């Protein structure tokens, strides 16, 4: 991105000054290298978001931002319903509430190593992954409606969760205001066999060990220690979320025209939050969030059973579950006034700082756990939300390393079998049904996660807690 078009606020914060139809400024979080390497489309898309009705504060782009669908991936924006604020499908995306859940164990790297191959094989066998993967649960429409209304609470009633699991999921595992009636039969039919499945693409289940701890106090709260085993799950709302996005995109073109909202990009179609159409999409999207939260819960429940079979007497506890593609109703301090906003995060993680009353008691002093996935060959980070997150980014941060190379180019450059063999040589076991996926997800196809994490931490919106190295991965 051309820096000449930006105003440098400091080493890690850059502004797209308000101009033309923009109602607010754009803010990009990143160091000089990130800005240099960021694609120009982020500038264009963030400027378009800044021109949407009812936007307050700024339009924000996180350090891992890149070209998206309407919103940039890594885009964050809050809209005030009382001044005509809108809700946008592109601000949430196709994989509604795709996110990461990480669990800490009291198992060490040394203890897991002799069993790693067998353990991963069992996880690969029992937790369905890959294109159109289906699980053992086959849900009727009535059961699915209950799941879409109650989220992970549905799993608790079905014996697929522990009460303490729900404490460590955003919104305690249940997005309020979900209405299954706003979700099409087609979406429900696609989801009937998909609860408890990973899916494909960049989704994964990864076994990691803690290589480095940056903050002893917060790490202890999360149950992390050097060489301790962590297991992370990355997936979303599967077919149901995708179909909700597709269904409403097709409807919202006319809705945007009806409310005289200029369409700058087809995926940036939107509706006023307080309109019947806006309310209906919100209630469908909340159902999509509940679908994703339940999906990760069911996978985690099955993982926990397998873990206890392999390692009796050891503990596995949920650290936290974060979502990346959401629109949430939140209170924020805008120019000294507390306002209720509809905050869109597309490819961005909520990152509440210390003191937030929304957080479970355990994390109120430390800030919200945030998980930043790297590639399957490098490493990931656990962060905590920091004090400046509210002021600088509506309590938001990045969600991953971001791609350095397109899937198309990666597929031409690497063979999946070779990638898997090379990783095995480094002590990282990969289980996958897709060699194409292994090529596309090659470690060198991703950017260095350090740069993204450093920008977030140096800007003051998060702080580092721990660095994790992969030992094995079930790739979707």
Partner 1 sequence: MYETFEHIADIGVRGYGKTMEESFCNCAKAFFSIMFENFDEFEPENTIELEVESVSYEGLLVKWLNKLLAVSEIEGMVFSEFEITIHGFGIKSRAKGVFSNKHSFISGTGIKGATFCEAKVIKTDDKFISQCVVDV
* Residue 113: CB minimum distance to partner 1, A: 29
Residue 49 neighbours by CB distance under 10 Å: 31
**Six token digits for residue 394:** 């509506």
What's the closest the beta carbon of residue 375 comes to partner 1, in angstroms? 14
Place of tokens 């606020």: 9
Compute the chain's Rg from CA coordinates. Answer: 21
Nearest to 383 by CA among 394, 399, 370, 373: 370
Catalytic residue chosen out of the listed positions 157, 308, 399, 408: 399
| Alpha-carbon span 199 to 369, nearest angstrom | 24
Kindly report the length of the chain: 476
Which positions touch partner 1 (CB under 8 A)? 39, 66-67, 69, 73, 93-95, 130-132, 186, 189-190, 199-201, 239, 242-243, 245-246, 249-250, 253, 265-267, 402-403, 406-409, 433-437, 440, 476
CA angle 166, 93, 241 (to 5 degrees): 55
Q: Which is nearer to partner 1, 140 or 406 (CB)?
A: 406
- CA gap 271, 279 in Å, rounded: 9
Under DSSP, the state recorded for 233 is E
Structure tokens that stand for 391 in this block? 């002021």
Rounded distance, CA 170 to CA 61, Å?
A: 22
CB of 212 vs partner 1, minimal distance in Å: 28
Q: Answer yes or no: 308 catalytic.
A: no
Cβ 245 to partner 1 shortest distance, Å: 6
- Our measurement of the distance from residue 429's CA atom to the centroid of its chain's CA atoms, rounded to an integer in Å, reads 24
CA 10 from centroid of its chain's CA atoms: 27
To partner 1, the closest distance from the beta carbon of 413 in angstroms equals 12
User: Helices 276-310 and 238-258, interaxial angle, to 10°?
Assistant: 170
Active site residues: 399
């Amino acid at each position: 991105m051309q820096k000449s078009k930006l105003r440098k606020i400091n080493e890690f914060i850059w502004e797209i000054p308000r101009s033309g139809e923009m109602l607010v400024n754009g803010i990009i979080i990143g160091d000089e290298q990130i800005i240099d390497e960021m694609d120009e489309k982020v500038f264009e898309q963030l400027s378009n978001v800044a021109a949407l009705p009812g936007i307050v504060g700024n339009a924000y782009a996180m350090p891992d931002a890149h070209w998206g669908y309407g919103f940039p991936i890594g885009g964050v924006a809050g809209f005030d319903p009382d001044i005509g604020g809108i809700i946008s499908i592109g601000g949430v995306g196709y994989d509604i509430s795709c996110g990461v859940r990480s669990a800490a164990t009291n198992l060490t790297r040394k203890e897991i190593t002799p069993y790693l191959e067998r353990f991963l094989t069992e996880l690969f066998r029992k937790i369905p992954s890959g294109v159109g993967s289906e699980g053992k649960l086959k849900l009727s429409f009535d059961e699915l409606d209950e799941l879409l209304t109650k989220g992970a609470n549905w799993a608790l009633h079905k014996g697929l969760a522990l009460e303490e699991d729900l404490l460590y999921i955003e919104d305690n595992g249940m997005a309020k205001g979900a209405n299954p009636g706003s979700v099409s039969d087609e979406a429900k039919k696609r989801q009937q066999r998909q609860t408890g499945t990973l899916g494909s693409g960049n989704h994964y289940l990864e076994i990691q060990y803690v290589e480095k701890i940056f903050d002893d106090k917060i790490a202890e709260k999360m149950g992390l220690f050097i060489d301790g085993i962590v297991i992370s799950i990355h997936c979303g709302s599967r077919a149901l979320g995708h179909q909700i996005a597709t269904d409403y995109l097709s409807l919202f073109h006319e809705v945007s025209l009806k409310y005289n909202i200029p369409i700058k990009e087809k995926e940036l179609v939107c509706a006023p939050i307080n309109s019947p159409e806006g309310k209906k999409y919100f209630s469908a999207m909340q159902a999509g969030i509940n679908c994703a939260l339940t999906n990760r819960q069911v996978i985690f429940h099955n993982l926990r059973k397998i873990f206890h079979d392999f390692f009796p007497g050891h503990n596995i506890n949920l650290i936290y579950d974060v979502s990346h593609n959401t629109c949430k109703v939140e209170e924020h301090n805008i120019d000294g006034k507390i306002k209720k906003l509809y905050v869109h995060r597309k490819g961005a993680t909520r990152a509440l700082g210390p003191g937030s009353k929304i957080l479970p008691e355990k994390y109120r002093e430390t800030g919200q756990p945030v998980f930043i996935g790297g590639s399957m060959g490098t490493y990931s980070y656990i962060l905590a939300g920091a004090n400046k997150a509210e002021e600088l980014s509506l309590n938001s941060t990045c969600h991953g390393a971001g791609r350095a190379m397109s899937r198309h180019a990666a597929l031409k450059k690497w063979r999946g079998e070779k990638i898997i063999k090379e990783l095995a040589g480094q002590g990282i076991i990969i289980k996958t049904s897709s060699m194409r996926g292994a090529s596309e997800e090659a470690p060198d196809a991703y950017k260095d996660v350090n740069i993204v994490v450093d920008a977030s931490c140096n800007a003051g919106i998060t702080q580092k807690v721990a660095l994790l190295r992969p030992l094995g991965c079930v790739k979707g």
